[in-house]
Structure 1
Amino acid sequence: MNILSIAAHPDDTEILCAGTLIRYAREGHRVLIAVFTDGSVGDRVIPPGKMGAIRKKEAQAAADLIGAELIWPAIADEHVFPDQHQRMIMVDILRQADPDVIFTHAPNDYHPDHRYVSQLVFDAYSQKGLPFIDHQSLPPCRLEESQIYYMDTVCGIDFMPAEYVDITDTFEIKKKMLRCHKSQIRDMKEQAHTDMLEMMETQSKFRGLAAGCKYAEGFKRLEAYQRGLTKRILP
């Protein structure tokens, strides 16, 4: 299968669904990590041009740890909007991946980039298989079949998982993937007084407590027409 994570920023995937992606990779599935923005304005010292290059290098290192393909459309950080231009970019991401499973942000997550990426995934879903959508650079892929799963919100706020994945055996690699994002870890400690690794581990432990294992990731499947609702597809 083709497994696609579409997140707004570098490190979002690592925090919210990397343990599950690692399980798919170990089973021999094709895994793709799409980072919609370049993450370039999160630092208060390093200018965006330099910061974007750093964040891409870190994202590539994390993807390489599990043999995942990195998709980097480089939308300006903090400038995600559900407009026609960005929807067409999202359609191309979906066509490149031709996914069986899509992981993306919950529609109610805390950051507008997260919320709009979620909306763009929903809006582009039905257009990925249509041959006459405007100015697409890639040919259409399968029109249906993909299942969309919403990832947990950051810190699990206002999110009740409907399905869990046991990531106990993949947690250490998930942690290594997050450690690749050195610039963000440093900035979050300095500016937000947040230890990202500790935050991620706490959330994984809490979801594991609910799921009956040491570490888990929680998801909600989008229940909608033409989404293959008769089977569970998570590992």
Structure 2
Amino acid sequence: MEPIKLDILAIGAHPDDVELSCSGTLIKEKSLGKKIGVLDLTRGELGSRGSADIRDKEAANAAKVMNLDVRENLGFKDGFFTNDEHHQMEIVRVIRKYRPEIVLCNAIDDRHPDHAKGSNLASVSCFLSGLLRIETFLNGKKQDHWRPKHVYHYIQWKDIEPDFVVDISGFIDQKLEAVMAYESQFYKAGDEGPKTPINSENFLQSIKYRAANLGRLTGSNYAEGFTVERYPAINSLFDLK
């Protein structure tokens, strides 16, 4: 059976990266009939809270909330994966498998070093996936080359200035539900587990107030921001909101 063709593939270094940063956009596009998938690079096994097995279950629950068509995890080594041929080829196989038009990936610079590494690794892999002379196989069958039309980077811990934003008004509650599917990771009153930067009440609130602020600045209720690798083009000034 031929794998499903995706419109958007969001790639994250860890389970919950996508939910925190661009799940509102994915949920909105899914509501508009697009095919949506997520590729997690690691299982987040170095996280101070929860475990890899727990996060596997949480990722599956978040996938249901977002109504994803596909979710895969490559099982790279959390904290220690590198931007080398082995890791690039693994991602190339997935890109050629699902043939996304758009790839969303980690922030280009962030507090967690895996985020910048994952950002560059995904971007390089998208380029390599389009090269004819790189051969990959799926179930014994040679894959066709495929390069996504666009690679955009979502925003994570740092307040990077976006190049454009997506209006997610009407989808903020579902985004927050997807985030809170990771019960082991985020703030809960009375919780006595290890304290981490993303486990504070302030961080949990920041997910909504960042989206609200981007919305305020662009004339909507809530928005998510992205940076680009090349200038975006429009057909008409009237395409801009």
Q: TM-score, normalised to structure 2's length?
A: 0.83
In 2, Cα distance between equivalents of 1:110 and 1:43 = 16
Report Cα offsets for 1:140-199 as digits up to 9, x if no partner.
44544520111113242xx11111111111000001100100111159974125234312
Q: Which residue of 2 aligns with 1:112?
A: 113
DSSP 3-state at the match of 2:151: strand
Superposition deviation, residue 11 in structure 1: 1.0
Larger Rg computed on CA atoms: 2
2:224 is equivalent to residue 217 of structure 1:
yes
Question: Any conservation in 2 of the 1:127–1:133 contact (CA below 8 Å)?
Answer: yes
Question: Any conservation in 1 of the 2:135–2:143 contact (CA below 8 Å)?
Answer: no
Question: Any conservation in 1 of the 2:110–2:158 contact (CA below 8 Å)?
Answer: no
**Which letter maps to 1:191?**
K
2:18 is equivalent to residue 17 of structure 1:
no
Q: Which residue of 1 aligns with 2:3?
A: none
| 1:188–1:34 CA distance, 2 compared to 1 (3 A) | farther
Number of corresponding residues = 224
Q: Which residue of 2 aligns with 1:79?
A: 80
1:61-100 equivalent positions in 2, closer than 5 A: 61-68=61-68, 69-100=70-101
1:43 alignment partner, one of 42, 48, 72: 48
DSSP 3-state at the match of 2:8: strand
In 2, Cα distance between equivalents of 1:174 and 1:188 = 25
RMSD: 2.6
**Which letter maps to 1:105?**
N
Question: Any conservation in 1 of the 2:93–2:136 contact (CA below 8 Å)?
Answer: no
Unaligned runs of 5+ in 1: none
Superposition deviation, residue 119 in structure 1: 0.9
Superposition deviation, residue 216 in structure 1: 0.7
Q: Which residue of 1 aligns with 2:154?
A: 151
Bigger fraction of residues in helix: 1
In 1, Cα distance between equivalents of 2:113 and 2:84 = 14
**Which letter maps to 1:36?**
L
Superposition deviation, residue 3 in structure 1: 0.6
| 1:190–1:214 CA distance, 2 compared to 1 (3 A) | farther
DSSP 3-state at the match of 2:74: coil
State percent identity of aligned pairs: 28
Superposition deviation, residue 107 in structure 1: 1.6
Unaligned runs of 5+ in 2: 1-5
Q: Which residue of 2 aligns with 1:198?
A: 205
In 2, Cα distance between equivalents of 1:181 and 1:25 = 21
DSSP 3-state at the match of 1:217: strand
| 1:189–1:13 CA distance, 2 compared to 1 (3 A) | farther
Superposition deviation, residue 94 in structure 1: 1.3
| 1:144–1:96 CA distance, 2 compared to 1 (3 A) | closer
Question: Any conservation in 2 of the 1:98–1:141 contact (CA below 8 Å)?
Answer: no
In 1, Cα distance between equivalents of 2:142 and 2:113 = 30
In 2, Cα distance between equivalents of 1:35 and 1:234 = 32
Deviates more, 1:65-74 or 1:12-21: 65-74
DSSP 3-state at the match of 2:171: helix
